[in-house]
Every structure is written in structure tokens, then in C-alpha cells.
A and B are shown apart, each in its own frame.
Chain A
Amino acid sequence: MLEAVQLTKRYSSIPAVQDLSFTLRPGEVLGCLGPNGSGKSTTVKMLTGLLEPSRGLVRFDGRNIQANLAEYRTHLGYVPEEAHLYPYLTGWEYLDMIGTLRGMSRPLMESKINALLELFSLLPARHAAMGTYSKGMRQRILLIAALMHDPDIFIFDEPLSGLDVTSALIFKNLVQSLGRAGKLVFYCSHVLEVVEKVCTDVLILRQGVVIAHDSVANVGQILGQSLENTFLHLVDDVDTMRVAGDIVAVMKAA
């Protein structure tokens, strides 16, 4: 079980996240939504142990993760927002390095890498430098790197970025399968339909504060509307139609 207890992070006394609390149980897929600057990335960094909270703590199986980060990270599979890979390494070399750094046994690692590369349609490109990969290919490499050691917790930060339709569909089903397999999944995204489809619960952030945290069905029913409309109503009090009209007007201005 992963617990966030009154997580608060301040940058130079400016709060990025305030009193964020939730519990993620095995089998749950928690979606995290929020506009830019709402504190999603800071939350992810605190959950992965990359950032130490200014106040509060993250507990995994009842233990503060900061007490033994290295041990916690053996249970973690993380897909960062940016696919910032080493362009001169091949896909296979990168995964081999990640597996080695995770202490995986060689035969198991090699068989898993090959199988996952095959499943993610990357086997033909495994010996090409990642500098030549498309954004979607890089994203798939990151997904394999997060999956290959069979972690208990998955933290996905915009994992669909750049994926083609087939890969995205595979991934959405994969997330649901991971939930059914009893894994803990924290899923950060801007894509509301995906969150609506794959997550069991949703957490909506605005300016670092939780404004809604419930099951997807319940959050959608707050206003008796879809998750998209509820999200817009809760987060941004913006008339999107009017803004779109204004953009066209500016575009056409002489």
C-alpha cells in the first residue's frame, strides 16, 4: 500500500503542493489530473523519492520511503514525462544498462528485454542508436524499462506522449491489466478520456491543492456530467469556446 500523508512541497516558501493525502491500495489505478502548474510533477517527484517533501511523508507498506530510498526504488517502475534518453546508446544497450543497475540476473534480463521489445514492436530497431528513434519509440523504451523488473508500484507521468494509436491502445489495456494483477498504479495525464477509461480513482489538483478525490464514477457525477466537463468546471473557470474564438480573431487581425 502506498500512502501520501499531508504531502507539502514549497519552493522558496511558495507552496507547489499542499497537504496532499491519499492511499493507493493494490489493484487501484489512481489518475492524477490538473492543469499546468497544478503540482502534478512535484507530486510525482515526491512519490518517486526524487524530491523530499517540505512536510508530510510518503509511506510504502507502512514505512517512510525516505528512510531507505534504494530499497523503495526496487519496487518502483517509473515513466518520466520527458523521454530524455542517451542518444548514442541503442535501445537494447539502454535496457541492458537499466536491468544491470536494477541488479537483475542476466538470463532473466535478456529474455525479458527481447520479449518486451518484440511486444512493443521495437525488436527490429533494438540495435539502432536512440538518437534516431521517434518520440513514440523512445516512450516505448521507457515503458519497457519501467516494466522489465516486475515492480509493485507504477508511476506513469504522461506515458502516452508520442505513442501511436496501436501502442496507446495496448498501453491502456496494459494499465488495466496491471491493476487487475494487484499492482499499484499512479497515472498522471492531461488526457481525460484515458483517465476516465483506465483509472479506478481520480485525484484532481488545482494550484497544489486537492479539489476532488474519489472514484472516477463519483467525480463524474458531481455535476451530473462527463469527467471532462466536471474537470473544466472544477479546475479552470474558462469558457473554452470563447477563447478559441478569440484566437481565430487574433489570427485574422490585419
Chain B
Amino acid sequence: MCDMRSRTISFTLNGRPVTAEVTPHQNIVEMLQTQFALFGARESCGQGLCGCCTVLIDGKPVSGCLTLAIFLDGMELITIEGLVASGRLDPIQQAFIDCGAFQCGYCTPGFVLMTKALLSQNSDPSDAEIRDWLSGNLCRCGAYPEILSAVKTAARAIKRAATG
């Protein structure tokens, strides 16, 4: 982008300091795809209602399609690609595989990141708490029952790793 109005921002992307040239109208999804070749945050509804574009800013889940990239300046951004540490899946990702908690997979990164945010605040969520946290993520394939069990499986795995 060589737009006159573009600005340079600096932020932390999946643990690494980066800079990006962004225009005022550019959202996070577009910036990740065009400037960092990261395609795990995906636009679907474009209205912040489906959760497919979920990313974590300073640990908080936000809709990447509604958040302007320019606001990332000085912040810490985690995307689905940032969950894999030296080739090892996050326990949440592993639980999603083990429980078959996806079908087409388009919404999956959003569910995984929302679960990440939930479990970082509440290591042992109840069914109702899980449902409340995940109510902003939609899965048209209807893998919700498997997702519920994946969240619980991940919570147990994380607890085991911490105590073991």
C-alpha cells in the first residue's frame, strides 16, 4: 500500500516484534493476509458475528474483521498460527483433533482462540460457562457437542501438565 494516509505501526505478532504499513480502513484480517501471509484468521460474515476471524489482542479475543489494524500499534497480537510452539500443538488444538471438534475447519481457529482466552481466565469452566464464552462463534457444520467436549478435554490436559 502506498496510500498517502498509511501509517507505520509496531506491534508484537505471535511473540515477535514487527512493523507494518497500514491504511486507516484496513482491518486486522486483511493486514495479516496481505502483509504477513497468515490466513488462519478468515473473514466470513464481516460483521463480528461469526467468530471466524478471532484473534487475541493483549490476550483478549476480538473480531479481526471489525478491528482496524492501525489500533494494533504497541499491542500484542496472537493468531492461530502463534499457538504452535516449536512444532508442538497447543493442548487445545490437540483436544480439538482428539474430540473431532470440527468438520470443514473454517471456523476452527476462532473456536480454538476463544477457548484459549477462556481457559487462561478459568481453568475449570462449567458447561454453561463454556457455552457463554463460545456463543459468539458459529459453526455451520454443527460440531458444537464435540467442541464442548474438546474444551473440557483441553482444560483437563492443561491442568495435568501444570500439576504433573
| A and B together in one complex | no
Residues of B within 8 A of A (CB): none
Residues of A within 8 A of B (CB): none
